[in-house]
């Protein structure tokens, strides 16, 4: 009796094992089917990389050691290269204007506020005005690769610090940015260096040679650009650690600052509105004391800076993302047709004119290319008869052809063979000549007597007659 009992128990265990295995396989199959049915997460669009690290280092080298507020103003202003060129011309024409006084004098200029703030620093505009292509490249790089640009600035600052050319002094305060966990690191895992004015709202613009201040340059095929500073703004300037320091400039007009932790620029709304009374930022949009980004100064309202495409003045964007984002039509663009003379009545009149031309057998042009081709054909046809609308050589050849068509040769004996009337006229003309010659003298008209001297007068000089 024990053997059948053991067999029954074994059979029961085998059935239970098969059932659990089938359930496991069924569950795994269901999960696989659900995974196959669920749509795959969309891949993030690839970021367009315009400049490599060597190009970015070359572009930011002349300004990487600027104090953070001034660096932010330069990066924002560089996105409007046309305005920077105009501001550089204005500053050159007013060399004694600087600081907040100069900013107030250009408040009515049609420049972006970030460019108006740069007027406070004429030595900076003098450098930016020397190479407009570099300014545009700097602005395009910041619009397309802001994080890469800020990383390039930090790398150069660390190189200058390692070379002994970046430290705190009477003009600036150099420190590291504390992270949330107490470790001063940036996005690339390296130390973030912050440069601030030693005195609030007083900025000294450093002048240095990028080929030497950063030590050994890592990219020999992309040497840094160097623009010597104008001596006018550095009279007897102090030289310390490879950097020249000029006169102090009131920097209260700088309303931007680097947000190293966020990879963008923050705007001090209160300070911005103080210097841009005609272009205020709405107070309801501010996040007063709530943003708390690292690197922001003061306790006032902060807002992220956004590029204004309306002040680009038609300068094309280098990357596809900004072309699509900033190339859209602005508000009120639909009303521009009225200023161009477009109206429903005008469109109806144009359609009626096309129909009238078609009824008269004239094919109206359907595009500008078609219109040019038709005009060229008409000119060539007119040129066959008058040489109008053709080149000089074409007009001459056309005139020669027309003359050969209208002028027959005089020695063609068979000229009137196909025209009997012309032949009869020619024969009669000969008869008329013969009859006229055989007329009696009495019927001929009296001739006029001709008086000639018997001996021609002698000619003077060497042309006399020979004897």
b/e string for 303-316 if b means 16 or more Cβ within 10 A?
bebebeeebbeeee
pLDDT of 182 > 60? The answer is no
List, for residues 133-173, the tens digit of each pLDDT value. Answer: 999 999 999 999 999 999 999 999 999 999 999 999 999 99
* pLDDT score recorded for residue 240: 60
Domain that holds residue 84: 53-321
* pLDDT score recorded for residue 28: 43
Residue 256 pairs in a beta bridge with 267
Cα–Cα distance, 261 to 242 (Å, whole number): 29
> Comparing 81 with 465, which gets the higher pLDDT?
81
In a domain, 220, yes or no: yes
In a domain, 369, yes or no: no
* Dihedral sign computed on CA atoms, order 364, 367, 368, 370: negative
pLDDT of 374 > 60? The answer is yes
Element (H or E) spanning 257, and its range? strand 256-259
Q: What is the mean pLDDT of residues 254-275?
A: 88
List, for residues 378-406, the tens digit of each pLDDT value. Answer: 766 665 554 444 556 666 676 666 666 55
Cα–Cα distance, 326 to 306 (Å, whole number): 11
* pLDDT score recorded for residue 164: 92
In a domain, 281, yes or no: yes
In a domain, 153, yes or no: yes
Q: What percent of the chain has pLDDT over 90?
A: 32
In a domain, 97, yes or no: yes
Q: What is the DSSP code (8-state) at residue 347? A: H
| pLDDT band, residue 57 (cuts 50/70/90) | very high
- Number of structural domains, the chain? 1
Cα–Cα distance, 75 to 140 (Å, whole number): 10
In a domain, 327, yes or no: no
In a domain, 140, yes or no: yes
Average per-residue pLDDT in the chain?
74
In a domain, 250, yes or no: yes
Highest mean pLDDT among 170-174, 292-296, 445-449: 170-174
pLDDT of 97 > 80? The answer is yes
Q: Compute the chain's Rg from CA coordinates.
A: 46
* Helices and strands (DSSP H and E) totals, the chain: 17, 11
pLDDT of 464 > 60? The answer is no
List, for residues 193-228, the tens digit of each pLDDT value. Answer: 999 999 988 999 999 999 999 999 999 999 998 988
């Amino acid at each position: 009796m024990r053997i059948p009992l053991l067999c029954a128990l074994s059979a029961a265990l085998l059935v239970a094992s098969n059932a659990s295995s089938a359930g496991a396989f069924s569950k795994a199959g269901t999960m696989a089917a659900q995974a196959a049915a669920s749509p795959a997460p969309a891949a993030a669009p690839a970021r367009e990389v315009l400049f490599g690290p060597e190009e970015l280092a070359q572009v930011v080298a002349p300004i990487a050691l600027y104090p953070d507020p001034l660096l932010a103003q330069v990066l924002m202003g560089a996105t409007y290269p046309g305005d920077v060129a105009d501001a550089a011309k204005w500053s050159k024409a007013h060399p004694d204007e600087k600081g907040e006084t100069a900013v107030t004098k250009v408040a009515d200029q049609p420049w972006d506020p970030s460019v108006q703030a740069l007027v406070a620093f004429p030595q900076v505009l003098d450098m930016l005005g020397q190479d407009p292509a570099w300014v545009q490249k700097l602005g395009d790089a910041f619009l397309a690769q802001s994080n890469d640009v800020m990383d390039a600035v930090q790398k150069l600052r660390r190189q200058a610090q390692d070379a002994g050319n970046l430290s705190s002094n009477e003009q600036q305060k150099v420190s590291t940015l504390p992270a949330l966990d107490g470790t001063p690191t940036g996005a690339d895992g390296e130390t973030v260096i912050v440069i601030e004015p030693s005195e609030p709202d007083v900025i000294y613009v450093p002048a240095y040679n990028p080929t030497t201040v950063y030590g050994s340059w890592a990219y020999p095929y992309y040497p840094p650009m160097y623009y010597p500073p104008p001596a006018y703004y550095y009279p007897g300037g102090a030289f310390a650690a490879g950097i020249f320091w000029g006169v102090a400039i009131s920097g209260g007009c700088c309303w931007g600052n680097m947000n190293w932790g966020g990879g963008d620029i923050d705007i001090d709304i209160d300070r911005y509105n103080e210097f841009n009374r005609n272009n205020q930022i709405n107070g309801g949009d501010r996040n007063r004391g709530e943003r708390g980004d690292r690197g922001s100064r003061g306790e006032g309202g902060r807002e992220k800076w956004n590029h204004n495409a309306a002040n680009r003045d038609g300068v094309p964007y280098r990357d596809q993302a900004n072309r699509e984002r900033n190339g859209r039509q602005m508000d009120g663009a639909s009303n521009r047709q009225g200023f161009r003379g477009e109206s429903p009545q005008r469109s109806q009149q144009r359609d009626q004119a096309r129909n009238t031309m078609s009824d008269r057998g004239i094919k109206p042009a359907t595009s500008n290319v078609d219109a040019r081709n038709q005009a060229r054909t008409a000119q060539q046809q007119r040129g066959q008869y008058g040489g109008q609308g053709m080149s000089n050589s074409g007009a001459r050849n056309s005139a020669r052809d027309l003359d050969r068509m209208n002028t027959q040769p005089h020695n063609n004996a068979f000229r009137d063979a196909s025209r009997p009337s012309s032949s009869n006229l020619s024969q009669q003309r000969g008869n008329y000549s013969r009859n006229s010659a055989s007329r009696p003298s009495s019927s001929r008209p009296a001739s006029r007597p001709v008086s000639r001297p018997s001996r021609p007068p002698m000619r003077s000089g060497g042309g006399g007659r020979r004897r």
